[in-house]
């Protein structure tokens, strides 16, 4: 750990020096000709420093790989990492600094939606391309009037997308009858449940019942009795693990045979693995995925940083790669041209093959995991 900290300080110092060097030489035009500057805004301090560390690692890994392969458009990439603290003000300051002082045209970040939204406004205003690796809030890429911010993208899918993936997975497994439970007071749960219900019907299934509950409920027997009576084969419950634990235990008691399915809210070490046995849930990425690009990424990252890459490192790596691929596709070092190129890009990233929809959200596969025999197992990668 200590070594890591030391290493990152050295890296940061080196970066700071490197960033200062061209400015000191007072030749911005000449400097622009030699390298392509890319900034990364990561919350290296603040409430979620581990997120920042992973994000920076993923970003640096992508930069080093592209540089080792000769850079983009024949130019080396010059990375600039700034601490944005997962907070609006420091993130905006960092964005202004990299844009005005360092003259970057491309930003990879921020991690947290609360910081990404104000940064996206800065990027949009100053004509800088921004791609957030992990901010899920819809407003990151959308203006208040619902139009898309043309310079802003993200590399992760937004929450309701998982509902679509699970609907497809369920119908691929041959299930035709689903029951949907959702917490009416929770936007995340409600969004997923609505999308699942809509898409499951589109894929030829039938929603045999749906029920709402409230976040403080502990007794689900009335709803579960209805589930049993409805003859549902799938019980879609995209809530957090604490609710899953209660529902799963009671479902078992009432002899419910419907397969439980959910989303990344299940992803917790506190999930009651015994009660939820047999259930499926969707997630962004699994290190156990068997696709070549995933195996390759996991081994490279593990070798370099001594840990299995988490979703944050993976999405940062993907976001950076997407950006570089778009620059290469555009053929010029110009943010607006790259943004246009990005819109029609198709790239085989670690977290799935990515294309972008009109709202600049990626269309890509999600992974489906199963709770089975006391462990979480990778089942499939599902493309929409």
| Binding window for other proteins (CB under 8 A); candidates: 108-116, 159-167, 237-245, 310-318 | 237-245
| β 352-356/234-236 pair status | unpaired
Single residue of 66, 175, 188, 213 touching other proteins by CB under 8 A: 213
The one among 15, 158, 201, 246 contacting other proteins by CB under 8 A: 246
Q: How far is the CB of 277 from other proteins (least distance, A)?
A: 8
Asked whether 120 and 90 are in contact (CB, 8 A), the reply is no
Residues 52, 110: Cα–Cα separation, whole Å: 9
Tokens of 303: 């070798």
Q: Closest Cα to residue 125, out of 150, 108, 142, 146? A: 150
Tell me how far the alpha carbon of residue 246 is from its chain's centroid.
28
Q: Are 107 and 135 in contact (CB under 8 A)?
A: no
Q: 67 CB contacts (<8 Å, ≥6 apart)? A: 76, 77
Question: Is 270 an interacting residue with respect to other proteins (CB under 8 A)?
Answer: yes
Q: Provide, rounded to whole angstroms, the least separation between the CB of residue 251 and other proteins.
A: 11
Please give the Cα distance from 31 to 111 (Å, whole number).
29
| Token pair for 107 | 């930003």
Q: How many Å apart are CA 16 and CA 24, to the nearest integer? A: 12
Rule CB under 8 A: say whether 173 interacts with other proteins. Answer: no
Taking CB under 8 A as the rule, does residue 96 contact other proteins? no
Residue closer to other proteins by CB (options 64, 270) is: 270
Question: With CB under 8 A, what is the number of residues at the site for other proteins?
Answer: 31
d(CA 303, CA 286): 18
Among 88, 249, 295, 337, binds other proteins (CB under 8 A): 249
Among 3-11, 34-42, 135-143, 238-246, the segment contacting other proteins (CB under 8 A): 238-246
CA angle 376, 381, 384 (to 5 degrees): 135
Q: Rule CB under 8 A: is residue 216 a binding residue for other proteins?
A: yes
Output the smallest distance, CB 191 to other proteins, in A: 17
Q: Closest CB to other proteins among 22 and 238? A: 238
| Angstrom distance (rounded) from CA 106 to CA 36 | 9
The region of 22-30, 44-52, 252-260, 321-329 touching other proteins under the rule CB under 8 A is 252-260
Q: Which of 146, 174, 204, 255 binds other proteins (CB under 8 A)?
A: 255
Where in 108-127 is the site for other proteins (CB under 8 A)? none
Q: Tokens representing 38? A: 């890319």
The total of other beta-carbon atoms located within 10 Å of residue 176's CB is 15
Within 23-82, the residues that bind other proteins by CB under 8 A are none
Binding test (CB under 8 A) with other proteins, winner from 1, 3, 204, 218: 218
Sheet holding 362-363, edge to edge: 347-349, 352-356, 362-363
| Interface with other proteins (CB under 8 A), residue from 64, 89, 219, 357 | 219
Q: Which stretch binds other proteins (CB under 8 A): 9-17, 196-204, 207-215, 369-377?
A: 207-215
Smallest gap from Cβ 171 to other proteins, in A, equals 21
Residues in contact with other proteins by the rule CB under 8 A: 184, 211-214, 216-219, 221-223, 225-226, 228-229, 241-242, 245-246, 249-250, 252-255, 257, 270, 272, 275, 278
């Amino acid at each position: 750990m200590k070594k890591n900290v030391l290493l990152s300080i050295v890296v940061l110092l080196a970066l700071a020096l490197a960033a200062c060097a061209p400015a000191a030489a007072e030749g911005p035009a000449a400097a622009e000709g030699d390298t392509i500057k890319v900034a990364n805004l990561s919350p290296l301090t603040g409430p979620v420093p581990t997120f920042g560390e992973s994000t920076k690692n993923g970003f640096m890994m992508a930069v080093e790989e592209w540089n080792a392969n000769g850079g983009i458009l024949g130019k080396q990439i010059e990375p600039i990492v700034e601490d944005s603290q997962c907070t609006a003000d420091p993130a905006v300051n960092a964005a202004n600094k990299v844009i005005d002082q360092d003259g970057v045209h491309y930003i990879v970040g921020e991690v947290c939606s609360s910081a990404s939204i104000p940064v996206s406004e800065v990027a949009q205003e100053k004509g800088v391309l921004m791609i957030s690796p992990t901010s899920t809030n819809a407003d990151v890429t959308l203006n208040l009037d619902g139009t898309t911010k043309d310079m802003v993208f993200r590399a992760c899918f937004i929450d309701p997308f998982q509902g679509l993936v699970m609907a497809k997975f369920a119908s691929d497994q041959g299930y035709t009858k689903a029951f949907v439970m959702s917490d009416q007071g929770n936007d995340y749960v409600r969004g997923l449940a609505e999308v699942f219900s809509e898409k499951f019907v589109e894929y030829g299934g039938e929603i045999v019942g749906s029920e709402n509950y409230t976040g403080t409920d502990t007794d689900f027997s009335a709803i579960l009795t209805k589930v049993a009576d409805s003859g549902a084969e799938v019980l879609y419950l995209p809530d957090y693990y604490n609710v899953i634990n209660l529902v799963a235990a009671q479902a078992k008691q009432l002899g419910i045979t419907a397969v439980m399915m959910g989303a990344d809210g299940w992803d917790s070490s506190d999930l009651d693995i015994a009660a939820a046995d047999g259930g499926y849930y969707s997630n962004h990425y699994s290190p156990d995925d068997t696709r070549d690009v995933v195996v390759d990424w996991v081994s490279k990252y593990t070798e370099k940083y001594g840990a299995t890459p988490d979703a944050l490192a993976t999405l940062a790596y993907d976001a950076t790669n997407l950006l570089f691929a778009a620059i290469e596709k555009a053929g010029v070092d110009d943010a607006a041209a790259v943004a246009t190129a990005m819109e029609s890009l198709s790239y085989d990233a670690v977290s799935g093959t990515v294309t972008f929809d009109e709202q600049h959200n990626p269309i890509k596969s999600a992974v489906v995991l199963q709770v089975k025999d006391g462990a979480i197992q990778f089942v499939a990668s599902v493309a929409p």
